[in-house]
Amino acid sequence: MPPAEPSLLQVIVLAVVQGITEFLPISSSAHLILVPQLLGWPDQGLAFDGAMHVGTLTAVLWYFRKNLWPLTRDFGLSLRGQGLTPNGRLAWAVLLGTLPAAIAGLLLHDLIEGPLRSPKVIAATTIGYGLLLLLADRIGKQGRDEYTFRWRDAALIACAQVLALVPGTSRSGVTMTAGLLAGLTRAGAARFSFLLSIPITALAGGYEILKLVQAGAPSELDKALLAAAAAAVSGYLAIAFLMRLLQSRGMTPFVVYRLLLGVYLIAVFY
């Protein structure tokens, strides 16, 4: 039985939730599972999920629009054997950092979309990875930006992104945690995390749209476009907000939020 068409309220609320939580280190997957459960909403369906991914992808592409051309250009130069510039190295790191999560997502899809979508799992990961983020923020040397990383740093962040397949972990949160542990500054870890979101979000959205096409499921185009627009605007604002907040408050506000959310989930579902 196909999922019920989402209401206009559901479209707006979940798209804004997706846009904000995709980039803040508080887990978008956890909130997109929990918000419908708490409000008694039915599953929104593949068309809606795909539209929200298009929206968040648009947000990060627009925010980093001035950075993407040098990365693309120097990546192309490296393919032609014309040397590896800092931009070229960063582009390769983004590409290589995507592969482990993409492969794991395909192999473990049923597990991720089944048993791991549990409020109890989300509570544990929300608290556990929140504390790890706090530790990384406190002990990380924060002496380098994303252009001066080592290849082992990129490998560490790539492996960390695989952990984000578990709901409640937060893709941005766990990759920023790995970046901080590798010695990147807060801003450098955040920028690398956001750049790393581009290919993985494109792959996730493309996969959902492919499944939708194969299933021949109906969708409401106007609501899908609204979802994409709401996710794009809220996602862009979330990136800008995080980059400003990191300079003054660090990761502490997000850690506090994760701990409070985890305690709430334990109280409700245990």
Instruction: State residue 1's pLDDT score.
Output: 47
Cβ-in-10-Å burial (0-12, 13-18, 19+) of 102 comes to middle
Phi, psi of 169, rounded to the nearest 5 degrees: -70, -45
Instruction: State residue 36's pLDDT score.
Output: 87
Instruction: State residue 162's pLDDT score.
Output: 93
Instruction: State residue 113's pLDDT score.
Output: 72
Instruction: State residue 33's pLDDT score.
Output: 81
Instruction: State residue 176's pLDDT score.
Output: 96
Q: Which residues, given as ranges, of the chain have pLDDT below 50?
A: 1
Alpha-carbon dihedral sign for residues 54, 60, 66, 68: negative
Instruction: State residue 45's pLDDT score.
Output: 65
| C-alpha to C-alpha distances, 63 to 15, 46, 79, 147, nearest whole angstrom | 18, 26, 26, 18
Instruction: State residue 47's pLDDT score.
Output: 66
* Location of structure tokens 């192999």: 107
Instruction: State residue 4's pLDDT score.
Output: 60
Instruction: State residue 212's pLDDT score.
Output: 67
Do the Cβ atoms of 235 and 20 come closer than 8 Å?
yes
